Amino acid sequence: MKKYFMLAMCVGALISCGGSKNAINHNTSRMPQTTNPFGQTYDLPTFEADTEEFFAATGIAEGSKSRMGVLQQAALANAQSLIRQKMKHAYKGMVSDYSNYMGIDNSTKAKTKMEQGGDQIIDAIINDTQAQSVKFSGVDEKGNVTCYVAVRISKKEVADKIAQGLSEDEELKLRFQEEKYRKYMRERFKEYKENQQ
């Protein structure tokens, strides 16, 4: 009989503990206070954003701690790829606007040469780019680290080099007005920012 009584007491205790009231955690000091709908967010250790004067990008690579040099090169290549995409996008839009402004037909050889010549100069500038800042994360449980590399390129320098390079092309000289193009390109690049706020 004692067994049944003890069993009934345990069942009663379990049932009464499983009531409909929800538990409330009064110790919320450890929980991050955020109104972000995506939860807690983290900043990159090194981050470069586009400004009026510079194109910028941050490359990331992850791998073994013993290959930190390779990781740094991979992160630099990733940053260069990102900045190349942004610069070519901004340049293509600028060429299109300039062509419309100057009355150059979209199918003309001049517009194609401007786009291709500018792309080649942009590639040359980016290939010479060095890391602005390099940071490594701590070693994780698998022995891996993450490398962050930021690069930055002057918009004025890009505009000047493209204008100078295109002004040397004999076929473009008839339709190309270097100073006007240089000024127009600087203004358009200055307006271009990746993260519009």
- Neighbouring residues of 161: CB distance < 8 A, sequence distance ≥ 6: 121, 125
Strands 54-64 and 133-136: unpaired
Predicted confidence at residue 57, as pLDDT, reads 92
Q: In the Cβ-directed half-sphere of 125, how many Cα atoms lie within 13 Å?
A: 24
Position of tokens 């010479």? 128
Phi, psi dihedrals of residue 79, rounded to the nearest 5°: -65, -40
pLDDT tens per residue across span 11-37 = 555 555 555 554 444 444 444 454 555
Predicted confidence at residue 28, as pLDDT, reads 46
d(CA 153, CA 130): 10
Predicted confidence at residue 152, as pLDDT, reads 92
d(CA 28, CA 14): 27
Of 174, 79, 54, 186, the residue nearest 135 (C-alpha): 79
Task: Give the Å distances, CA to CA, from 179 to 7, 145, 166, 189, 191.
Answer: 94, 48, 11, 15, 19
pLDDT tens across the length of the chain (197 residues): 666 556 566 555 555 555 555 444 444 444 445 455 555 445 556 677 788 888 899 999 999 988 888 999 999 999 999 999 998 888 888 887 777 776 766 557 777 777 888 888 899 999 888 888 889 888 888 889 999 999 999 988 888 888 887 776 655 554 556 566 667 777 777 777 654 44
Residues recorded for the chain: 197
Q: Cβ–Cβ contacts within 10 Å for residue 92, how many?
A: 14
Indicate the burial class of 87 (C-beta count within 10 angstroms; 0-12, 13-18, 19 or more): buried
